[in-house]
Chains A and B, each alone.
Chain A
Amino acid sequence: MSAERTKRSLEDDLNRLDAIVRALETEDVDLDRALALFEEGVERLRTARERLSEAGLRLQQLREAADGELKLDALDR
C-alpha cells in the first residue's frame, strides 16, 4: 500500500469517485482527461473495495488509571 493510499480515507475515495463520475457525465472534458479520470476512478474503486474487506472490529475499554492516565484495555467480543 503506497504512502498516498494510506493517507487517503475511504471517505476521500468515495467523494473523489462521485466527483469523477459527475465530471465524466456532465463536463466537457477532453478525451485524454476523461480517460485519465477513468483510470483514477478505477484505482479508487479498487482501494475502496479493499478497504471494505480488510476491516476487523476492535473492542476496547477506556478507564482512568490511579495516576489519572487514560488506559485502553482490549476486550473480547
Chain B
Amino acid sequence: MTLALPFEEAPRERPSTVSEVVASAKLVVEHALPALWVEGEISSFKAYPSGHWYFTLKDPASQLRCVMFRADARRVPATPSEGLKVYARGELTVGTKRGDLELIVRQLLATTEGGFYAIALERARQALEKDGLLAPERKRPLPPFPAVVGVVTSPEGAVWHDIVAVIGRRWPAVELVLIGARVQGDGAPEDLMRALALANRLPRLDVLIVGRGGGSREDLWAFNDERVARAVAASRAPTIAAVGHETDVTLTDLVADVRAATPSAAAEKAVPDRVDLARRLAATGSGLASAVARRLELADERVRHAATRLGGSVDRRLAATLERLRRHGTRMSAACDRRVAARTADVARLGASLDALSPLKVLDRGYSVARDAGGRVLRRVADFPAGREFRLRVTDGEVPARSEGKT
C-alpha cells in the first residue's frame, strides 16, 4: 500500500545546484558593483596565522563579512581593535563555501585623525613610555669632543653627504663611520635594527646619528617602528635622531638622547665648531695672561707695601733699640758704678791681706833685692860676676851697685 501523499510536481526547469547559484550570485555581484568604499565599525576581528584578517563591518542595521588578505593586511600599520570605525575599500563577492556576501578589503583606514598610523604610534609610544624609554632623565649628554661619530642612514641619500659636509667644515678631527641601512619601504625597520646592532659592536663610538631626509609620512614610518625605537634606546653611544623635517617627530626622535630638526642640525650638535673653539682658546689665552699680569701686579704692590712697612718698622725698631740702649745704658752705668765700687772695696781688702806678704814689708825688716838692668832678680853667687852692675832695691828706694866678684 502506498500512502496517498500530496503530489509535488518536479520543477519544470532543471534546478540549479547550490554551487551554480552561488557562482551566479558571485558573478552578478562582482560585475554589478565596482570597487567601493564602505564605512563601518570593526567587529569579530580575527587575524589568522596565515596573515589573513577576517572581520565584520557593522552599522546599526546591518553587517557585512570582510576578508583582508595578507599582502594587503601587512600594509596596515596597526591591527584594528573591536569597535574601531573604519573606511574599507574593496570588491564585493560571494563566498563560494558559505554563500555569504563578502567584502574583499584591499585598503583599510581608521576614521580617526591620523588613522592607523596614529593608532600604531600611540600604542608603541605607550609601550615605550611604560618601559621608561621616553623619560627625560634617561637622556644622556653628548660628549663635547667626540673622536668617532657613527651615522645610521641610507648610503644613497643626501643625509650622509650633508653630514660629511657639515662635520668636515666644523670639526674635521673625527672619524665618521657610515652604517648603511634602508630607511623606507618593506624591511626598512629590520635593516635599521641590524645597522643599530652593528654600531653597538664598534670598539669605539662616541655619538651615533640616526636619520633620513624628508619624505611622506609613510616614508618616515620605519622610524616609528617600536622595535627600531627600542634599538635606538639600546645604543651604547649617545644618540642624535634626525628624521625628516622639523615638523616630523617620530618615535625614534622621542627615544634618542638628542633630537635634531634635520640631518645637518644633527651634525652640528654632534661636534663642536673649531672656529668657536679657536675663539675660546684665544679668550682663555688672554684670560691667562691678564690673570698672571694681575697676579704679578699684586705681588709687586705687596712687595712695595712690604718695603714701606719694613722701612717703617726698621725705623721704629731702631728707635726702640736706641731707647732700650739708653735705658739699659743708664741702668748699666749704675750697675757699673756699683760694681766698680764693689771692686774697689774688694781690691782694698785684698790689698790689705796681701800687704802682709808684700816683699816691701820684708825689705822693711832690712832685706834688699838685687836686680839686673832688665829687672831680673839676682839670687846666686854666679849672678854676680866681677864688675857686674846691678840695682839694689831697699825699703825706701834703689841703689846702683857693682859686684867685686867672688871672695
Contact = CB atoms under 8 A, between A and B. Distances in A.
Interface of A: 9-11, 14, 17-18, 20-21, 24-25, 29, 31, 34-35, 37-38, 41-42, 45, 48-49, 51-52, 54-64, 70, 72, 75, 77
Contacts of A37: 292
A9 B176 contact: no
Given A31-B295, A59-B164, A64-B198, A24 B178 contact: no
A77 B164 CA distance: 7
Nearest to A56: B172
B145 A52 contact: no
B150 interface: yes
Given A24-B292, A60-B176, A70 B281 contact: no
B288 to A, nearest CB: 4
Interface in B276-308: 277-278, 280-281, 284-285, 287-288, 291-292, 294-296, 299
B81 to A, nearest CB: 39
Contacts of A14: 280, 284
Contacts of A60: 175-178
Given A42-B288, A55-B173, A64-B198, 9 more contacts: A31-B296, A34-B295, A37-B292, A41-B284, A48-B281, A52-B274, A56-B172, A57-B173, A70-B198
B281 A61 contact: no
What are the 4 closest A-B residue pairs judged by CB atoms, nearest first? A55-B173, A24-B291, A57-B172, A38-B292
Contacts of A75: 178
22 contacts: A9-B145, A11-B144, A21-B287, A31-B295, A31-B299, A34-B295, A38-B291, A41-B284, A45-B281, A45-B284, A45-B285, A52-B274, A55-B172, A55-B173, A55-B174, A55-B274, A57-B176, A58-B175, A60-B176, A62-B150, A75-B178, A77-B164
A43 B155 CA distance: 42
A19 to B, nearest CB: 11
Contact of B288 (A21, A62, A63, A77): A21
B277 A52 contact: yes
A43 B252 CA distance: 44
A27 to B, nearest CB: 10
A31 B295 CA distance: 7
Interface of B: 144-145, 150, 155, 164, 167-168, 171-180, 198-199, 201-202, 274, 277-278, 280-281, 284-285, 287-288, 291-292, 294-296, 299
Given A55-B172, A72-B177, A20 B201 contact: no
A9 B147 CA distance: 10
Nearest to A10: B145
Nearest to A41: B288
Contacts of B292: 24, 34-35, 37-38
A49 B198 CA distance: 35
A52 B172 CA distance: 9
Contacts of A20: 288
B277 A38 contact: no
Given A11-B144, A24-B295, A70-B198, A57 B168 contact: yes
B285 A62 contact: no
Given A11-B144, A70-B202, A59 B178 contact: yes
A45 B288 contact: yes
Most chain B beta-carbon contacts within 10 A, residue among A10, A25, A29, A57: A57
Contacts of A58: 174-176
B164 A18 contact: no
B150 to A, nearest CB: 7
B179 A77 contact: no
A62 B150 CA distance: 9
B284 A21 contact: yes
Which one of B172, B177, B274, B288 has the greatest number of beta carbons of chain A within 10 Å?
B288
B236 to A, nearest CB: 14
Contacts of A10: 145, 173
B289 to A, nearest CB: 8
Contacts of A51: 173
A52 B299 CA distance: 35
A21 to B, nearest CB: 5
